Amino acid sequence: MHVAVVGSGYVGLVAGACLADLGHEVILVDNDPHKLKALKNGQTPIHENFLPELLSRHRGHRLNFSDDLHEAVRASSAIFIAVGTPPTDRGDADLSYVESVAREISSAISEYKIVVEKSTVPVYTSEWVRRIILRNGADPECFDVASNPEFLREGTAVTDFLYPDRIVVGCDTDRAAQVLRKIYEPLTSGSYYVQAGAIPQPDRTSIPAPIIVTTTKSAELIKHASNAFLAMKISFINAVATVCESVGADVNQVCHGIGTDNRIGPRFLNPGIGYGGSCFPKDVMAFRSVARECGYDFRLLDEVMRINEDQRDRFLRKVRSALWTLRGKRLGVLGLAFKGGTDDIRESPAILIVQALLQEGCKITAYDPAAMERTQEVMSSNLKYANSAYEAAAGSDALLILTEWEEFANLDLDRLHGDLKYPIIIDGRNLYDPEVMAASGFTYYSVGRAASHPDGVPTGALKNGNGVKKA
């Protein structure tokens, strides 16, 4: 099929490349000339596994780039809107970019098209998109509006698109549903997976993918409810970690006991310094705003956000507990991205912690495998950058682990011990075993577990999260 994807940001770029890999003819539309030039020249603007291969494979063939939305709409049967929906000051989604695209699309509709929301939008957006297109003169028989939410995780977005848990399409007409079924037929029939050059299947996936057809309103709610639930799961286990520290339990053991219950499952039960990124913070706020507009005070979401913010403060208290005073201390930091596998620093808890420590007078040298260039664009010159984890640790009073990159979980502990001025590690991602760290000569702090000391005597659980150790 001929498909247009409007917006070459994270969602649009991944969707366009993957739709091309399914065999469709894709025009990726953006009004940023610098971004279009970079894409046409073969650059990949985001760090995402398999994306460079797909762009190289299809650029100039099944995947083309354009700034002419009108022509792209005329040439396509389906138009996916994947523009940004940033939060406003009130916390709801800014839909001005969606509205602008809808207005421009209307003038190019002369035969049947399906306009598909791919951006994360609140319920009723599909109705507004349809209304705007009609107001600008389109024939109501010549188009349908559908919702096709994305469930992509940064770092694994390509495989998430091509090996999805489910494909959700929200349509209010059978005609629209048939178009979307045809677009995703290579995945739902399984034909994509047997073709030469298919992206390798990741672990713990089943094929072919089920397709779930709902109304547009249900599809819009599925996306927000899914992200809010996952954020709630992260905040819940972080709250449990706080209790574990107070009573001297091991949160990793608690997670194992909880996660083996098949009603709950182990995914997203990872205690740490909180969630971040471009989706969870924005979508939780937007879902809360939607609920309030509907007359429901979704106070559970308030608590999810409060716990997430508090988790960063608790980590800072651990740093103070380990070092007593912070002004003038030299700290090595491992990780700046909000999670491993991506260069995205939007709402990154690692960045927020680094900023707080710099304000307290710390001298920080940081290393991240992918996110340092993006960090340099937004951070002050007071932050220094290293070329490796060991360079970041060299001469530091303590080492902080803030992002769960795989290489950070496999460091040479003997070398690290020699590089640090004091063998103190404060691990915000629980990448190491406290007993192993103590045996390796480290004073080791983590989340939801008692701190360990090289003399083999735990330093004790934190009392009420204020950094005061129990006697």
The 3-state secondary structure of 201-213 reads CCCCCCCCCCEEE
**DSSP code at position 266:** S
Pull the structure tokens for residue 268.
């997203």
Contact 217, 123 (CB under 8 A): yes
Please, what's the b/e burial string for 186-215 (b: 16 or more CB within 10 A of its CB; e: otherwise)?
Answer: bbbeeebbeeeeebeeeeeeeebbebebbe
Cα–Cα distance measured from residue 382 to residue 362, given in angstroms and rounded to the nearest whole number: 10
Interatomic CA distance for residues 80 and 15, integer angstroms: 9
Q: What angle do CA 150, 376, 16 make, to 5 degrees?
A: 25
Sorted by where each starts, the structural domains of the chain and their CATH numbers stand as 2-214 (3.40.50.720), 225-471 (3.40.50.720)
Question: Would you call the peptide bond into 208 cis, given omega within 30 degrees of 0 as the criterion?
Answer: yes
Predicted TM-score (pTM) of this structure? 0.89
Q: Which of 338, 229, 332 is nearest to 274 (CA)?
A: 338
> 301: which 2 tokens?
């979401």
Say what angle helices 299-323 and 216-247 make with each other, to 10 degrees: 40
Q: Which residues contact 399 (CB under 8 A, 6 or more apart)?
A: 331, 332, 333, 334, 392, 393, 416, 420, 424, 425, 426
Asked if 111 and 143 count as a contact pair (C-beta separation under 8 A), the reply is: no
pLDDT at 462: 36
- DSSP 8-state code for residue 452: B
| Residue 458 confidence (pLDDT) | 47
Distant-in-sequence, close-in-space partners of 50: CB < 8 Å, separation ≥ 6: 158, 159, 199
Q: pLDDT value at position 113? A: 97
Cα 340 to its chain centre, rounded Å, is 10
What are 46-69's pLDDT values in tens digits? 999 999 999 999 999 999 999 999
Largest Cα–Cα separation, the chain: 77
Ranges of residues in the chain whose predicted pLDDT is under 50:
457-471
In a 3-state reduction of DSSP, which class is residue 366?
Answer: strand
Complete DSSP assignment for 411-429: --HHHHHHHSSS-EEEESS
R_g (Cα) of the chain, nearest Å: 24
Rounded-to-integer distance, Cα 331 and Cα 365, Å: 6
Active-site amino acid positions:
279
Cα 285 from Cα 298, distance rounded (Å): 10
Res 459: pLDDT: 46
Q: Can you spell out the DSSP letters for 130-157?
A: HHHHHHTT--GGGEEEEE----PPTTSH
- DSSP assignment letter at 410: G
Q: How far apart are CA 446 and CA 113, in angstroms?
A: 53
The distance of Cα 199 from the centroid of its chain, to the nearest Å, equals: 21
pLDDT value at residue 456: 57
Instruction: Give me the pLDDT at residue 329, please.
Output: 97
Distance, in Å, from the CA atom of 394 to the CA atom of 6, rounded to the nearest integer, reads: 46
What angle is formed at CA 126 by the lines to CA 121 and CA 129, rounded to 5 degrees?
A: 105
Which secondary-structure segment (H or E) carries 385?
A: strand 384-385
Count of Cβ atoms closer than 10 Å to residue 173 Cβ: 13
